[in-house]
């Protein structure tokens, strides 16, 4: 699941830095600088990294001090050079992190004896155990079923393979007046600005042309169901094409000190209109589901913040904290000599209503649950609900 989250790379949030001084348990060593000769040192460097870098300690229910007292003696009993003990240590890491709020969180290891073990992803395990669990909607539903059963002739679809994976996009009109756009992940601006032609670029250009030239737009449907997230710059690149003034949709803050609760002040998170934007007053509907992650969730928040914006579908994944290169902030992902990567959010994000939806997901205005039988029959109740709202 780690690759599900590793695309977010750009900064769009303005952060004001200020001093803070609250401290918790005294700091151990910088985790990146440690050399672990035993499991006790492995635990210390990991615990310290989490204590300093994790951004959700003020809302997370995990008692990190209790974790230290409980698991420090357990790790001290393990032999770092025994395969059975290494796997027992893996189980301890899984127990320690299972309740973490951060739904980006993914823990992987350098130990050769764990190469056949999956990385530890608490949110994914919770998803599998959820009573409302369903598999992601097949990409062929968007690529084939929607294009055939719902979009007007002339629609566009395409895909692009990159080092980060495959990106799929679909666009078209419905009744010649409602615009539809789907993307499987956010890397739109980068793919659009490449010198060479690619499938996603072609689809995105088609959508922008329709956005600019369709005289009487009755509605826009942005489909991020199953969207795995991606580049933050795509918020401006996509939503910024539909507004004529800055859109504030929430607030962000970061860690600015090593203390567990050393936070920066909250700063506004916003979308900036693009120079060639068209102010859309018709309904803008975003479709998202329980497999809409990270940037897909922030896009839903931005659309819902519009006076003409609506969100239809399911509660999203719940990984709303942005991930940015660790050189920018004193928090987020880290590594040790034993931990390949503790992949965790760089910033905390709360919606404009003041609520933090990390770990619980962003709720729709109109809930339309996944209907497997309908999808198997070539129908799309969530898309049809969007069309009904627009009409």
The tens digit of pLDDT for each residue in 168-198 reads: 999 999 999 999 999 999 999 999 999 999 9
**Rounded Cα gap, residues 199 and 178, in angstroms:** 22
Using pLDDT thresholds of 50, 70 and 90, give the confidence band for residue 327: low
pLDDT band with cut points at 50, 70 and 90 for residue 329: low
Share of the chain above pLDDT 70, in %: 90
For 210-215, the CB contacts below 8 A with 24+ separation are 210/171, 210/173, 210/179, 211/179, 211/241, 211/242, 211/278, 211/280, 212/276, 212/278, 214/173, 214/177, 214/179
Other C-beta atoms closer than 10 Å to the C-beta of 159 total 16
Please report which confidence band the pLDDT of residue 138 belongs to, taking 50, 70 and 90 as the band edges.
very high
Q: Which residue spans of the chain are classified as CATH 3.90.226.10? A: 139-321+359-390
Indicate the pTM of the whole model.
Answer: 0.90
pLDDT at 24 over 60: no
Does the domain spanning 139-321+359-390 belong to CATH 3.90.226.10? Answer: yes
For residue 29, name the pLDDT band (cuts at 50, 70, 90): very low
pLDDT of residue 30: 65
**Least confident span in 201-210, 250-259, 320-329:** 320-329
- The more confident residue out of 130 and 24 is 130
Instruction: Give the mean pLDDT of 270-292.
Output: 97
- Cβ proximity of 270 and 289 under 8 Å: no
Is the CA virtual torsion 280, 15, 318, 139 positive or negative? positive
Average pLDDT over residues 146-154: 98
């Amino acid at each position: 699941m780690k690759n599900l989250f590793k695309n977010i790379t750009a900064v769009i949030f303005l952060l004001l830095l200020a001093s803070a001084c609250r401290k918790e348990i005294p700091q151990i060593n910088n985790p990146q600088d440690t050399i672990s000769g035993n499991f006790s040192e492995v635990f210390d460097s990991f615990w310290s990294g989490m204590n300093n870098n994790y951004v959700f300690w003020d809302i997370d229910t995990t008692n990190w001090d209790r974790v230290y007292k409980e698991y420090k003696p357990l790790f001290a009993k393990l032999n770092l050079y025994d395969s059975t003990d290494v796997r027992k240590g893996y189980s301890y890491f899984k127990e320690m992190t299972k309740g973490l709020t951060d739904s980006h969180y993914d823990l992987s290891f350098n130990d050769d004896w764990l190469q056949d073990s999956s990385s530890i992803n608490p949110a994914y395990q919770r998803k599998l155990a959820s009573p409302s669990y369903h598999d992601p909607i097949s990409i062929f539903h968007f690529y084939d079923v929607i294009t055939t059963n719902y979009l007007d002739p002339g629609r566009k679809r395409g895909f692009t393979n990159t080092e980060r994976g495959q990106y799929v996009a679909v666009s078209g009109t419905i009744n010649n007046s409602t615009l539809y756009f789907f993307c499987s992940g956010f890397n739109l601006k980068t793919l659009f600005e490449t010198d060479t032609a690619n499938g996603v670029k072609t689809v995105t250009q088609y959508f922008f042309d329709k956005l600019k030239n369709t005289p009487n737009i009755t509605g826009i449907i942005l489909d991020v169901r199953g969207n795995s997230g991606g580049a933050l710059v795509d918020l401006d690149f996509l939503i910024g094409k539909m507004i004529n003034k800055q859109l504030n949709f929430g607030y962000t803050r970061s860690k600015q000190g090593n203390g567990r609760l050393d936070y920066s002040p909250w700063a506004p998170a916003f979308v900036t209109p693009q120079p060639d934007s068209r102010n859309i007053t018709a309904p803008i509907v975003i479709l998202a589901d329980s497999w809409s992650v990270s940037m897909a969730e922030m896009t839903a928040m931005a659309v819902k913040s519009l006076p003409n914006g609506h969100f239809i579908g399911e509660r999203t994944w719940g990984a709303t904290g942005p991930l940015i290169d660790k050189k920018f902030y004193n928090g987020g992902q880290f590594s040790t000599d034993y931990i390949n990567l503790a992949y965790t959010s760089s910033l905390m994000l709360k919606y404009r209503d003041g609520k933090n939806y990390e770990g619980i997901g962003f709720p729709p205005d109109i809930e339309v649950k996944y209907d497997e039988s309908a999808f198997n029959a070539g129908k799309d109740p969530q898309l049809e609900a969007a069309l009904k709202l627009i009409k």
